[in-house]
Amino acid sequence: MELLKNIFSPLTQIKGRTSIILIVVEAFLALLLWEIVGQNGLIPVPSKILTSVVSIVTSAYFVDNLFSSLALTFTGMGISIVLALLVSYLSLIPVFAPVAKFIVKCRYLTLTGLIFLFTLLTQDGHQLKLSLLIFGIVPFFVTSLLAIIEAINVQEYELCKTLRMNNWQTLWEVVIIGRLDQVFEVMRQNFAIAWMMITMVEGLSMSEGGLGTMLIKSNKYIDLSTVFGILVIIFALGIFFDFLLRNLRHWLFPYTKIQVKK
């Protein structure tokens, strides 16, 4: 009874187990509702999607496509974070600040208009996909990283001064290693953007396959249960990597766990 009252009153702290039960129950109810209501509709019902997920995962071409997408995502993410970190750290040196500001604004450029240019500039489909992905992610990375740097308390810089560090040591201590855990968090949060873009750029050059290619092909044949099956796989993988990155962060930077508890 107490529990029932609690889950309906605002600003109530609920315990870990209760919140997991809530998630499971609500997800189950939603799926059940979908299954019942959707019987005669256009959208395939959960049981059908599940069957197609199983058949996709067990099909011969799935692993190749999956690895193609993962490889592209990780390469893209890796290069993007290095570029974004470089730009963000350099932004602290006045000469480079305008460049960083411009890159941040590039979030508002739409990729579609630039595809032709990128096609001319790159040599093959792989390069095209990779460069579009990087061009798409870097502005978001830089935006988040600059926000982190912006949020640093001046007192931390002052502390460095009283400890007689020079500007380079201060940059290292406060901005670089002092914020590495947050860089990791930015990567986790922006992984979603990369993962979302991957299916889009894969559609531009289908020769290498990938989850995005699978998605587009099934769309063409109006094979909706396969489309939804692929979507579910993409969704599940995204959640899985999010979970992985979060735990990796706690493991690499033990002090981030303390902040979470507070």
- Residues of this chain that interact with other proteins (CB under 8 A) are 153, 155-156, 158-159, 161-165, 173-174, 177-178, 180-181, 253-255, 258-259, 262
Closer residue to other proteins in complex, CB, 20/163:
163
DSSP summary character for residue 45 = P
Closer residue to other proteins in complex, CB, 36/260:
260
Closer residue to other proteins in complex, CB, 138/183:
183
What is the number of alpha carbons within 13 Å of residue 94 lying toward its C-beta? 0
Closer residue to other proteins in complex, CB, 66/174:
174
CB of 176 to other proteins, least distance (A): 11
Q: Let me know: does 230 contact 215? Beta carbons within 8 Å.
A: yes
Query: How many residues comprise the chain?
Result: 262
Interatomic CA distance for residues 48 and 249, integer angstroms = 37
CB of 166 to other proteins, least distance (A): 9
What is the number of alpha carbons within 13 Å of residue 192 lying toward its C-beta? 9
Helix 224-252 crosses helix 211-220 at what angle (to 10 degrees)? 160
Q: Let me know: does 80 contact 137? Beta carbons within 8 Å.
A: yes
Closer residue to other proteins in complex, CB, 110/155:
155
CB of 79 to other proteins, least distance (A): 26
CB of 245 to other proteins, least distance (A): 18
Chain Cα centroid distance, residue 207: 24
CB of 256 to other proteins, least distance (A): 9
Name the residue among 145, 234, 154 with its Cα closest to residue 194: 234
